[in-house]
Amino acid sequence: MTSQAIGDEQMPPAEQPPPAPLEPALNPLQRLIQQRLRERGWSYREVARRGGLPHSTVHTLAATRNLARPPRPATIDALAKGLEVPVSVVRAAAAESTGLHYYDEPTAGPENPGDPERELLIASIDELTPEDRRHVAALVESLRNRAEREPGGS
């Protein structure tokens, strides 16, 4: 903003219109989809075709700011294929978009044996209602707090 001089008088700067409201922040899954679309010059239809998903599914995931629950595992796999990114990237973005945090860990092997109960809990999260997830989260937090109070706890 500059002021205008007329003779020896200074005119106040012209009033500027208020800035346009910022676009609501995108969730991590929306950011991932939008980033890949820009990088590749693709449309929702192209991503859907590449991944074998309905166009409406890709559009919904890209347009929905507040996901109530993560997409189904098959949808995550297909979206990763369509976006040409690792499944773990889509899985983490989808989880974070619903308020969950996903930590990709090495697969089971001789040095890292699988835990069937852990795998069942992780695989079942998509089938729980938001209320049930809150109950499970409260139970887990309670168990973690108890373990910290007990002798030998972490």
Residue 8 has pLDDT above 70, yes or no: no
Instruction: Tell me the domain boundaries of the chain.
Output: 25-102, 117-154
Longest dimension (CA), the chain: 86
The answer to whether 68 and 130 are in contact (CB under 8 A) is: yes
At 65, give phi and psi (nearest 5°): -75, -40
Task: State the average pLDDT over residues 139-152.
Answer: 80
As a whole number of angstroms, the distance between CA 77 and CA 80 comes to 5
Task: State the average pLDDT over residues 113-142.
Answer: 74
pLDDT the model gives residue 110:
47
Note the pLDDT tens digit of each residue in 19-64. Answer: 544 456 899 999 999 999 999 999 999 999 999 999 999 999 999 9
- Class level of CATH domain 25-102: mainly alpha
3-state secondary structure string across 74-139: HHHHHHHHHHCCCHHHHHHHHHHHCCCCCCCCCCCECCECCCHHHHHHHHHHHHCCHHHHHHHHHH
Task: State the average pLDDT over residues 6-12.
Answer: 54
Note the pLDDT tens digit of each residue in 90-124. Answer: 998 898 888 876 665 554 444 445 566 666 666 66
What is the helix (H) or strand (E) element at residue 9, kind and residue range? strand 9-11
pLDDT the model gives residue 89:
87
To the question of pTM greater than 0.95 for the whole model, the response is no
Q: Which comes out higher in pLDDT, residue 2 or 127?
A: 127
pLDDT the model gives residue 54:
96
